[in-house]
C-alpha cells in the first residue's frame, strides 16, 4: 500500500461509496457522510489531489484516480470481509462494522489475505 495515512484511506473509501450512488461527489457530501467540518474536508481534498489520488474539476466534482480507486477498493474489501467475519462469529453488526473500520487500516496485506482465505473456507463449510 502507499504511505497514505488512515484518514486518507477513509476519505478515499467514502468517495468510492458516494460515487457508487451515481451522484456527483463534492466536498459537502463528504463532510456530511463523514461528519467532519468543511474546512477539514477541504484540507484533506487538497492533500489527496496533490498526492494524485483524486481529481477535482472546475465545478468541484471529485473523482478517484486509478491509484485512488485501487486503494479505496482495497480498503472497502477489507471492511466488508472483516465485518462479515466478525458478524459470523456472533458480533453485532454495529460493533463489527466499527471494529472492521479500525482493523482495515492496520492489518498487513499478508495477514489480510490469510484472514480472507480462512474466512472464505469457513463460509463454504
Distance CA 108, CA 47 (A): 24
All structural domains of the chain: 6-68 (1.10.10.10), 71-124 (1.10.60.10)
Packing angle, helices 38-50 and 27-34, rounded to 10: 120
Confidence (pTM): 0.85
Which pLDDT score is estimated for 34? 94
Report pLDDT digits (tens) over 89-101.
Answer: 999 999 999 999 8
Residues 6+ apart with CB under 8 A from 31: 37, 38, 40, 41
The 8-class DSSP code of residue 55 comes to E
Per-residue pLDDT of 7-34, as tens digits, reads 899 999 999 999 998 889 999 999 999 9
Q: Among 21-25, 45-49, 98-102, 119-123, where is mean pLDDT lowest? A: 119-123
Q: Given a cut of 70, is residue 1 above it in pLDDT?
A: no
Amino acid at each position: 500500500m502507499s504511505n497514505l495515512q488512515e484518514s486518507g484511506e477513509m476519505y478515499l473509501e467514502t468517495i468510492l461509496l458516494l460515487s457508487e450512488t451515481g451522484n456527483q461527489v463534492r466536498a459537502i457530501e463528504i463532510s456530511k457522510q463523514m461528519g467532519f467540518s468543511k474546512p477539514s474536508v477541504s484540507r484533506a481534498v487538497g492533500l489527496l489531489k496533490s498526492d494524485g489520488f483524486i481529481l477535482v474539476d472546475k465545478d468541484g466534482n471529485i473523482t478517484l484516480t486509478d491509484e485512488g480507486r485501487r486503494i479505496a477498493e482495497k480498503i472497502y474489501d477489507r471492511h466488508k470481509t472483516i465485518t462479515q467475519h466478525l458478524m459470523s462469529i456472533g458480533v453485532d453488526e454495529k460493533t463489527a462494522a466499527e471494529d472492521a473500520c479500525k482493523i482495515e487500516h492496520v492489518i498487513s496485506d499478508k495477514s489480510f489475505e490469510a484472514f480472507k482465505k480462512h474466512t472464505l473456507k469457513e463460509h463454504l463449510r
